[in-house]
Amino acid sequence: MMRSNRDRIRSSGGGDDGMDVNDDRLASGERELVAAVARGDQQAFAELFDRHAAPAQRMLLRLGFAETTIGPALHEVFLAFWRAAPRMNPAVPIGAQLLAFAVLQLRGGAPADAAA
């Protein structure tokens, strides 16, 4: 039986890195921050960056991406998020969206602007 990516992440210790995509406790606060970013609030953007950049970097390292490529990819993803925040899906946790776009960016499957 084939394991899903979610199962692989769990078995690699994915729950201890702040990237629990099922954690509804932060969902409403995250939605408020995304709404603030959509209005151009740089402080809200900085808070989301502080919450998600390091956990995303750790997860991308676990997934086998080169450390030297992760920083630039996350930079592009967060810039795309800044531009796309008004169009982000509030039903999907922002950490999950950022991680998905970072993986796509690192695989060369889509430009960071695909977040838009």
Quote the pLDDT of residue 59.
Answer: 92
Lowest mean pLDDT: which of 2-11, 19-28, 34-43?
2-11
Q: How far apart are CA 113 and CA 101, in angstroms?
A: 9
Q: What percent of the chain has pLDDT over 90?
A: 40
Is residue 19 over pLDDT 50?
A: no
Give the relative orientation of helices 94-107 and 27-38 as an angle to the nearest 10 degrees.
60
Q: In the chain, where are the structural domains located?
A: 25-115
Q: Please provide the CATH number assigned to the domain covering 25-115.
A: 1.10.1740
Average pLDDT over residues 75-94: 88
Average pLDDT over residues 103-113: 72
